[in-house]
Amino acid sequence: MNNDDSGFMRVALELAAEAEEAGEVPVGAVVVRSGVILGRGYNCPISAADPTAHAEVMALRNAAKNVGNYRLADCTLYVTLEPCAMCVGAIFHARIGRLVYGASDLKTGACGSVIDLPAEIRLNHHMQVTGNILAQEGAGKLKLFFEKRRKTATKRHADESC
């Protein structure tokens, strides 16, 4: 990890907080080229009514629009949670050169936790992957978010059952 990694991951964590404020799972992402943020995104599948509106996809869309090209080979994507298979596919198609993620995702992580798509030699794109950058912060946000959600669901269920 270098200082740039932690700095850009902190920006992604700020975006994750925005997702949480919107009632979405708190995941944030930024696309960076030569120290400049080209794209930002946070999870918004609920508000967008779009199952593909994960933080990574939103950041890739934003960056591609800003530079006028979907190919982002000389860029780094920072995301607070290990990407799922769908997001790794989008990252491959964007030709991202480097992926940096925070917390591991033991349920749907596609960079080593459940499957390891970047290590798949049969694929036509490869990238450098660095994980566990500010992982505690990202994992902590997720843990608190789901604890609150469970508490609200339990209370709602108790209120409805009377």
Question: Of the listed 24, 56, 82, 137, which one is catalytic?
Answer: 56
In sequence order, the β-bridge partners of residue 33 are 36
Q: Give the whole-angstrom CA distance, residue 133 versus residue 139.
A: 11
To the query of whether residue 137 is one of the catalytic residues in this protein, the response is: no
Q: Do residues 107 and 136 make contact, with C-beta atoms less than 8 angstroms apart?
A: no
Contacts of 54 (CB under 8 A, 6+ apart): 27, 43, 45, 83, 84, 86, 87
In sequence order, the β-bridge partners of residue 42 are 28
What amino acid positions are annotated as catalytic residues?
A: 56
